[in-house]
Amino acid sequence: MSHVTVDKGRATAEIRGGGAGDEETTGKGIDRIDLGLVFVVVVWGFSPTLFKFVLIELQPLTFVFLRFTLLSAVAVAVLAVRGLRGGRAWRIRRRDIPYLILSGLSGYGIYQLFYIEGLAHTTVFATALMAATVPLWSALILAALRIERVALLQWLGIAVSLGGVVWFLLAASSQPSEVTLGHRLTPNDMLLGGALSLGAAAFFAVYGIVNKRLAPYYSPPELMCYTLLVGTLALAPAGIPALFTQHWASLTWRSFAIVPYSVVFPIYLTYSIWNWAIGKRGVGYVTLFNYAVPVMSGVVGFFVLREGLTLPQLAGGALVIGGMLLARRGVLSNQRATAKHAQLAQAAQDALASAAAATGMSTLTEAGAEAPTSADPSVNSAEPAYHANA
């Protein structure tokens, strides 16, 4: 027998995102989700400059495969400890295997290979420009697959931010930075690096969309571990030979300091926050923060690499932030409208259920008044056909 329970407060909480975590998902003001995404932006904006130092001493393939081998070991250890402590671990649904493979390839194996190779063949600013197209790719894929509705205001914000990114990067100083002095970038290098970085952005958009399906069921440590293992295995055919061709004697303290940082912060910690935020807010909202990464890259380049940061660049950065906030408003307006429609639909369903219950009780009352008295207790104790817990 089915059970029907009417609880408007609970229905409202479920529509908003549920329970005790509701304060994280209402989208009003700056909350833990926004703060976490700001931290991700800072790390991702700072890291490419550090990677440029490493790529002077390490081959791109060597760097990528070394990072992911260490990352996989950390992820397996974290998940093993979690399982020993009684936490959720090593749970893989068979129907999720294709999505986990796709997530591992698009977010780690292919994406990181394209990203590092692109960074090695172009400037930090050019890589940042291509990375800023992730929200555009995400919006296009979401709209094509009808996974999430992309509001008009969101499209407008994306256009404004992308225009700000172009303005910001075109206004950057054309003088070579100290990091690139060890490797002269030719026009062919710049073209190859830009194409690889653009491809990396497209793959990262796929990663975010796939994880929207996986994040509600798998915890961040689980999702990180499974997809990292997939990505590392995909890199192994090219990464293992690169380890043997690397000239290890040329490494300095910079590489020994930056490689551990690259294992923990730019991927393991920030990806966990990224996946958590996607599960809370959705792909369309979270990927908007990618637009702030080029601005951070410009700031870091100014202070660390002594690259010029001009007034036109600052104006472009203001456009990036303004467009991101505009698109954020569009996403939240769309979410509020969806929640309102869901609440109205729930209220209508509750009203119909109440009316049906009242009609059933009235009919049974009239039938009881007309029925003859019987010595059989079963006649006088008949249950109504519908009640609150039917």
CA distance 56 to 48: 13
Question: Average pLDDT, stretch 309-331?
Answer: 78
22 has pLDDT over 60: no
Q: What local confidence, expressed as pLDDT, does residue 90 receive?
A: 86
Q: Is residue 294 part of a domain?
A: yes
Rounded Cα gap, residues 313 and 156, in angstroms = 21
The dihedral built from the CA positions of residue 29, 32, 34 and 39, taken in this order, carries a sign that is positive
Q: How many CA atoms lie within 13 A of 95 on its CB side?
A: 3
Q: Is residue 265 part of a domain?
A: yes
d(CA 186, CA 190): 6
The pLDDT of residue 365: 56
Going by pLDDT thresholds of 50, 70 and 90, the confidence category of residue 338 is confident
Is pLDDT above 90 for 226?
Answer: yes
Tell me which of 136-150, 300-314, 355-369 is least confident.
Answer: 355-369
Task: Report whether 211 contacts 278 (CB < 8 A).
Answer: yes
CA atoms within 13 A on the CB side of 152: 0
Percent of the chain with pLDDT over 90: 22
Query: What mean pLDDT comes out for the span 293-300?
Result: 82
Cα distance between residue 132 and residue 202, in whole Å: 10
Q: What angle do CA 164, 292, 144 make, to 5 degrees?
A: 80
pLDDT at 367: 55
Check pLDDT > 60 for residue 235: yes
Domain around 203: 10-15+53-242+253-342
State the pLDDT at residue 6: 38
Residue 85 pLDDT: 86
Residue 122 phi/psi, 5° resolution? -150, -175
pLDDT at 95 over 70: yes
347 within a domain of the structure (yes/no): no
| Sequence-ordered list of residues with C-beta below 8 angstroms from that of 141, at least 6 positions apart, any chain | 147, 205, 206, 209
Check pLDDT > 50 for residue 330. yes
Q: What letter represents residue 124's amino acid?
A: V
Whether 332 maps to a domain, the answer reads yes
Average of pLDDT values for 140-164?
82
Res 103: pLDDT: 94
Residue 101 belongs to a domain: yes
Measure the CA–CA gap between 98 and 92, rounded to whole angstroms.
11
Share above pLDDT 70 across residues of the chain, in percent, rounded to a whole number: 78
- Would 43 be classed as within a structural domain? no
Model confidence at 55: pLDDT above 80: yes
Q: Determine the Cα–Cα distance for residues 97 and 86; give it in Å rounded to an integer.
A: 24
Residue 25 belongs to a domain: no
Based on C-alpha coordinates, what's the Rg of the chain?
Answer: 27
What's the predicted TM-score (pTM) here?
Answer: 0.69
Q: What is the pLDDT of residue 14?
A: 34
pLDDT, greater one: 329 or 17: 329
When pLDDT is averaged across residues 22-36 and rounded to a whole number, the result is 65
Calpha distance 251→268 (Å, rounded): 24
Residue 2 has pLDDT above 60, yes or no: no
All residues at 6 or more sequence positions from 274 whose CB lies less than 8 Å from its CB, including other chains: 37, 40, 208, 286
Please state the domain count of the chain. Answer: 1
Whether residue 212 is contained in a domain is answered as yes
Amino acid at 237: P
Mean pLDDT of the region 76-102: 90
